[in-house]
Amino acid sequence: MNVSPSPSWKLSLTALVLVLGTTGELAAAEPAGGAGSQWQLHDGERVVLLGDTLFERDGQLGLIETALVTAFPEADLEFRNLGWGGDTVWADSRGVFDPPAKGYARMTKLVDELAPDVIFIAYGRNESFAGDQQLDAFGKQLDKLCVDLCHQDSREPSGRPRLVLVTPSPFEQQTTCPNADAKNAVLARYAAVIRKTAVARQAGLVDLFADWPTAAAAEASTTDGMHLSPFGYQTAARLFAAAAGRQLPDDWATRTASVRQQINAKNQLFFHRWRPANETYLFLFRKHEQGNNAAEIPRFDPLVAAAEADVRTARDALPAAGDLP
């Protein structure tokens, strides 16, 4: 969480802000509101994925990100995955040595530093374990998160990042996940709050909960009843693309494997950049001992940038759909 921008990072941020000035206006020109509203990604945009294990594990599997990269072939996109296991709209996983509120502040600051054009927000499942009694609080905090992330109170609409809210996929009945129906009954009410917030904040929506296929599938969607299996991630990836009005071909996952490989390599580098091990010594209360080693961390930036280029090269090298055997 302690990404202190290096000079080069700052420079690129400045450049991005300049770009944002124009893309922001473009964004304002397109329809932004409405329930289940369409959303689009544009050339040169930076996307932040913020949420719980759904995004954290996609940082390793890369299926959702690959779907978006290849569903928008006309756009060069940059993704920054800030998923964190066990997290909630209160940033319960991000406090580290501090209370969650401080982790929340660091998270929003980090998102600001990344200067995204679009932020996907995927929360609600972990919160749903507290049942209906926390539903109102969840709604209020999700709304606050939306306001804080796009600086609703202080920025002109054209200067705000666009938001896309994501509902959790349903629980799946497994031996490790008994009573899935009861869990889903609660989760449905959390999903409804997310939908309502998307409307209120004129955000886009990916409705994994409502749109998840109900027909029996060849494989389990989850590894344990709640976390998506590679098969489940493919389903989710399709729903992400479909929510933007883009259909992925059936053989999509296999034919984009080369892109996914580069995306995963890039995400691993970015993980070491934004959530490095040994934070205690690099940035926190023992930094007087090994804080000098923190100089290594910004050295991931050029590696991430090079990996981004590799993603694009791999994407550009993909055969057109019709060329496949």
Partner 1 sequence: MTLFSRLLTATLLALLAVAANPAAAQRKLTDIPAPNPTAELADMLVAEGYEVNLFAADPMICKPLQMNFDPQGRLWVSSSSVYPQIQPGEVANDTVTILEDRDGDGQADTHTIFADGLLMPTAVLPGDGGCYVANSTEMLHLADRDGDNKADQRRVVLSGFGAEDTHHIIHTFRWGPDARLFFNQSIYIHSHVETPAGVKRLNGGGIWRFLPRSLTLDVYARGWVNTWGHAFDQWHRSLVTDGAGGEGIYYGFPGAAYQAAVGTPRILHGMNPGSPKYCGLEFVDGPHLSDDDQGTLITNDFRANRVCRFRLAEQGSGFSSEQLPDLIRSRRVTFRPIDIKLGPDGAIYIADWYNPIIQHGEVDFRDPRRDREHGRIWRVTAKGRPLTPRIDFTRRSIPELLNDLATQSAYGRDMARRVLWSRDPVSVRQAVTNWLAKLDPAAASFDRLRLEGLRLFQAIDRGSVSDINQPLLTEVLGSTDPRARAAAARIAVDWADRLDDPVRLLTSTVTDDSMLVRLEGVRALAAIGGPEAAALVLQVVDHPRDDALDYAVWLACRELQGDWLPAVVAGTSPMSTNPGRLLFAIEATAATEAIPAVVQLLQSDSLSAADRNAAIDCIARFGGPAELQLAFKAAVDPATPPARTAALLTHLLESENRRRVQPAGPLTGLERLITAANPAVAKAAIEAAGRWKVETAIDALARVASDTKRPAPLRLPAIKTLGQFASEAAVKPLDQLTRDQSTAMALRIAAVAALLNQQPQVAATTAAGLLADPLAEPNQIAIFKAFLSRQGTPAVLAAAIEANQRPLPASVASVGLKQLAGSGRDEPTLKATLKRLQGGSEQPMGRRSFSAAEMAEFLAFVQASGSAPRGHEIYRREKLQCVKCHRVGKEGGRVGPNLSTIGVASQPDYIVNSLLEPAKNVKEGYNTLVVLTVDGQVATGILTIRADDIDEESAGTSLMPVGLVDQLSRQELADLTCYLLGLGREGL
- Return residues touching partner 1 (CB under 8 A): 52-53, 56-57, 60, 84-88, 92-93, 95-99, 125-126, 129, 171, 174-178, 183, 223-227, 272, 275-281, 284-286, 288-290, 292-293, 296-297, 299-300, 303
Smallest distance, Å, CB 148 to partner 1? 21
Smallest distance, Å, CB 81 to partner 1? 14
DSSP string across 153-194: TTS-GGGSPEEEEEEPPPP--BTTB--HHHHHHHHHHHHHHH
Residue 43 to residue 184: CA distance in whole angstroms: 37
Residue 50 to residue 14: CA distance in whole angstroms: 22
Tokens matching residue 249: 């071909």
Smallest distance, Å, CB 93 to partner 1? 4
User: Which of 320-323's residues contact partners 24+ apart within 8 Å by CB, and which partners?
Assistant: 321/249, 321/255
Q: Exposure pattern of 125-141 as b/e (b: 16+ CB <10 Å)?
A: bbbbeeeeebbeebbeb
Q: Are 97 and 285 in contact (CB under 8 A)?
A: yes
DSSP-based three-state secondary structure for 216: coil
Smallest distance, Å, CB 250 to partner 1? 25
- 203's enclosing H/E stretch is none
Tell me whether residue 58 or residue 65 sits nearer to partner 1 (CB atom). Answer: 58
Residue (of 172, 167, 166, 264) closest to 227 by Cα position: 172
Tell me whether residue 252 or residue 271 sits nearer to partner 1 (CB atom). Answer: 271
Smallest distance, Å, CB 1 to partner 1? 10
Residue 123 to residue 166: CA distance in whole angstroms: 7
Smallest distance, Å, CB 303 to partner 1? 6
Q: Are 172 and 224 in contact (CB under 8 A)?
A: no
Tokens matching residue 79: 């993704």
Tell me whether residue 54 or residue 77 sits nearer to partner 1 (CB atom). Answer: 54
DSSP string across 51-72: ESHHHHHHHHH-HHHHHHHHH-
DSSP annotation of 228 reads: B
Smallest distance, Å, CB 125 to partner 1? 8
Smallest distance, Å, CB 41 to partner 1? 28
Tell me whether residue 44 or residue 95 sits nearer to partner 1 (CB atom). Answer: 95
Tell me whether residue 96 or residue 199 sits nearer to partner 1 (CB atom). Answer: 96
Smallest distance, Å, CB 99 to partner 1? 6
Tell me whether residue 72 or residue 283 sits nearer to partner 1 (CB atom). Answer: 283
Tell me whether residue 174 or residue 261 sits nearer to partner 1 (CB atom). Answer: 174
Tell me whether residue 8 or residue 278 sits nearer to partner 1 (CB atom). Answer: 278
Which residues make beta-bridge pairs with 228?
A: 222
Tell me whether residue 57 or residue 238 sits nearer to partner 1 (CB atom). Answer: 57
* Cα of 96 vs its chain's centroid, Å: 21
